[in-house]
Amino acid sequence: MEAITTAMDTTLDIIESKSGFLVGGEYGGNAVEVARTDSGLQCQCFIAQVSHDDCEHIRAVRDYIASVPMSLERPMLSQASADLYLSKLGELEISEATNEASANEQTGRIQLWLEMESEKLARKKAYYIQALDNFMQMNEYKTKRLVAGTLKLRSQQPEIKINDEAKVLMDERFVRIVPEKKALDKTALRKYCIDTGEEIPGIEIILKPHKFSFTLNGGAR
């Protein structure tokens, strides 16, 4: 997970990570992302898109970098700011859930429309398929090339469905012996490696970084 440092003054709140900066509005208003790119800082706000001059968010980031140039010297997050950020995280979670619910509703409507239309088309196709099948059988054709395409009629092997395997196995003609196979006991291997730390031949132990999680009042993530 990216290391994050923050700065807060009376107007703008800035959170920094490797990918860029999140610049909040006055008094904790909606935040705008200022990304680091090869060509410099880029902001997605309206002013930045229509003007050749730097917007307030880029100016704030430049002032922030100038005032605290070394990342190790940049201010740590206070408890009050942490609580504010947690509430902002909750707002974003609600927005994500709202968007997902809206998308699911629209997807459901589209799927219903598609199923109804597909069913009507399938019924119509069935008439033509049956008529062409009869045409091939009555004329004893195997292959017939027409202007619109080619028709083919092929015999198929019967499907063998086993309803009671035990009864079939009683007939020795249809029994074969499958040699025993060695199978890897992954549970035992995992326990041994975790307990001893030994990396035995044929495996690689990959250490994973810590995983950050959070819990919001009224729900868990």
pLDDT over 90 percentage in the chain: 19
Compute the CA torsion angle 133, 139, 144, 148 (nearest 10 deg).
-60
Q: What is the pLDDT of residues 59-84, one digit of tens each?
A: 888 888 887 665 555 556 778 878 88
Q: Is residue 139 one of the residues assigned to a domain? A: no
Q: Is residue 119 one of the residues assigned to a domain? A: no
Number of domains making up the chain: 1
Q: Say how many residues make up the chain.
A: 221
Q: Is residue 126 one of the residues assigned to a domain? A: no
Binned at pLDDT 50, 70 and 90, residue 3 comes out as very low
Where on the phi/psi map is residue 28: left (φ > 0), alpha (ψ -120 to 50), or beta? Answer: left
Q: Is residue 17 one of the residues assigned to a domain? A: yes
* Predicted local confidence at residue 98, as pLDDT: 94
* Predicted local confidence at residue 191, as pLDDT: 84
Residue position matching structure tokens 């202007």: 147
Q: Is residue 12 one of the residues assigned to a domain? A: yes
Residue 22, domain extent: 5-77
Nearest-angstrom CA–CA distance, 27 and 20: 21
**Tokens found for residue 193:** 């490696």
Q: What is the pLDDT of residues 146-190, one digit of tens each?
A: 988 999 988 887 777 888 888 888 888 788 887 777 777 888 888
Is the confidence at residue 220, as pLDDT, over 60? Answer: no
Nearest-angstrom CA–CA distance, 125 and 16: 60
CA-wise closest residue to 47 among 57, 38, 39, 37: 57
